[in-house]
């Protein structure tokens, strides 16, 4: 499962590049596919678009992966805290900010895991520096927290989620609740480290199946709907992030000082 880091990194990079293109489309046309998550003014859209494209290229080509990961985590978490945190406080019962805000935090967490994976180890012990170990742990926690929120939302709004399941799949309400439980179970596994590689692998596979079975058909039927494109790219990024977490947790065990070692 440690080999999943590479395909996960490519899927994650592809989604980041797509987000960057969305920002440029919005900056140039004022509409286009729309920037992900929240509209921004044109100047800021250009700036964020450049950062996302640079980060996506870096991740895809293995050029300055650590810088790309740090930059992405800052962009994602800054947007979540500055834009969505106030909305969560003002309207805590509105599910929209919960979904978008914690998507950003989860992707920021995946970015931190990537940063830790491509950081240097000690030349003699093969051990990560304590700060890198903490970065690795923080990334896993942020990713898992996002999964818990998604799981709770599936359980709270199961009837609505069931309407998103393709009509040809039977027992739509069952699958809505099943996915909610799966999100929470995967989060617990990733945080505890027990069966974490398996849980994250299954999670990434689930997201990838959603891309193929759910989001691609929805995009094909509404090519000018920016929300559908964003949902597809978010699922792709979450799937890639899950594979990265799977590979990272399979590649390391945790020593008594909480620093990860290569296994």
Report how many domains make up the chain: 1
Rounded Cα gap, residues 64 and 49, in angstroms: 18
Read off the pLDDT of residues 22-37 as tens digits, 9 standing for 90 and up: 988 888 877 667 777 6
Residues in the chain: 263
* pLDDT band (50, 70, 90) for residue 39: low
Q: Is residue 189 predicted with pLDDT exceeding 60? A: yes
pLDDT in the model for residue 224: 84
Rounded Cα gap, residues 115 and 241, in angstroms: 12
Distance (Å) of CA 181 to CA 108, 123, 178, 187, 193: 23, 42, 5, 10, 18
Share above pLDDT 90 across residues of the chain, in percent, rounded to a whole number: 64
pLDDT in the model for residue 200: 96
Q: Is the pTM of this model over 0.85?
A: yes
Share above pLDDT 70 across residues of the chain, in percent, rounded to a whole number: 87
Contact in structure between 21 and 53 (CB atoms under 8 Å): yes
**Residue-averaged pLDDT of the chain:** 87
Q: Is residue 51 predicted with pLDDT exceeding 70? A: yes
Q: Is residue 259 predicted with pLDDT exceeding 60? A: no
Q: Is residue 124 predicted with pLDDT exceeding 50? A: no
Read off the pLDDT of residues 140-180 as tens digits, 9 standing for 90 and up: 999 999 999 999 999 999 999 999 998 899 999 999 999 99
Question: By residue range, what is the domain housing residue 26?
Answer: 2-262
Q: Look-up: residue for tokens 């180890």?
A: 121
């Amino acid at each position: 499962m440690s080999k999943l880091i590479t395909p996960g990194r490519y899927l994650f990079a592809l989604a980041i590049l797509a987000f960057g293109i969305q920002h440029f489309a919005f900056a140039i046309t004022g509409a286009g596919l729309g920037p992900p998550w929240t509209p921004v003014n044109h100047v800021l859209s250009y700036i964020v678009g450049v950062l996302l494209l640079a980060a996506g290229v870096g991740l895809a080509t293995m050029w300055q992966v650590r810088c790309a990961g740090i930059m992405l985590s800052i962009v994602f978490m800054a947007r979540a805290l500055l834009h969505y945190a106030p909305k969560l406080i003002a309207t805590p019962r509105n599910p929209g900010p919960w979904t978008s805000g914690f998507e950003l935090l989860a992707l920021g967490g995946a970015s931190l895991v990537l940063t830790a994976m491509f950081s240097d180890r000690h030349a003699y012990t093969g051990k990560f520096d304590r700060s890198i170990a903490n970065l690795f742990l923080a990334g896993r926690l942020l990713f898992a927290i996002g999964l818990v929120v998604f799981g709770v939302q599936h359980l709270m709004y199961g009837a609505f989620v069931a309407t998103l399941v393709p009509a040809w799949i039977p027992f739509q309400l069952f699958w809505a609740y099943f996915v909610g439980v799966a999100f929470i179970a995967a989060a617990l596994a990733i945080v505890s480290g027990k069966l974490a590689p398996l849980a994250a692998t299954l999670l990434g596979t689930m997201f990838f199946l959603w891309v193929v079975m759910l989001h691609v058909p929805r995009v094909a039927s509404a090519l000018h709907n920016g929300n559908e494109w964003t949902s597809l790219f978010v699922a792709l990024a979450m799937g890639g992030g899950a594979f990265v977490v799977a590979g990272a947790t399979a590649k390391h065990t945790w020593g008594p000082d909480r620093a990860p070692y290569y296994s």
